[in-house]
Amino acid sequence: MKNKFLGTGESGYRPLRKIATVFSGLRYAVLYDFSVTYKLILSALILPLAFGFRGWIDFLIVLVATTLVVMAELFNSAIEAICDFIEEKHNEKIKVIKDIAAAAVGVSVFLWIIVISLELWQLLSVFFPIAD
Ligand SMILES: Nc1ncnc2c1ncn2[C@@H]1O[C@H](COP(=O)(O)OP(=O)(O)OP(=O)(O)O)[C@@H](O)[C@H]1O
116 C-alpha to center of ligand 1: Å? 27
Give, using CA atoms, the residue closest to atom 27 of ligand 1.
Answer: 77
End-to-end CA distance of the chain: 63
CATH 1.10.287.3610 range(s) for the chain read: 33-127
**Which helix (DSSP H) or strand (DSSP E) does residue 74 occupy?**
helix 56-86
Side chain identity, residue 91: N
Find the 79 Cα to ligand 1 centroid distance in Å. 10
Q: Mind listing the pLDDT tens digit of every residue in the chain (132 residues)?
A: 777 788 787 777 888 899 999 999 999 988 988 888 988 898 888 888 888 877 788 889 999 999 999 999 999 999 999 999 999 999 999 999 999 999 999 999 999 999 999 988 888 887 788 755
Of 85, 86, 98, which is best to mutate to test ligand 1, by the most ligand atoms within 8 angstroms of its C-beta?
A: 98
- The interface predicted TM-score of the complex, written ipTM, equals 0.92
Tell me how far apart the alpha carbons of residues 54 and 56 are, in angstroms, rounded to a whole number.
5
Distance, CA of 32 to CA of 37 (rounded, Å): 8
In words, the CATH class of domain 33-127 is mainly alpha
Cβ 24 under 6 angstroms from ligand 1: no
Its pTM stands at 0.83
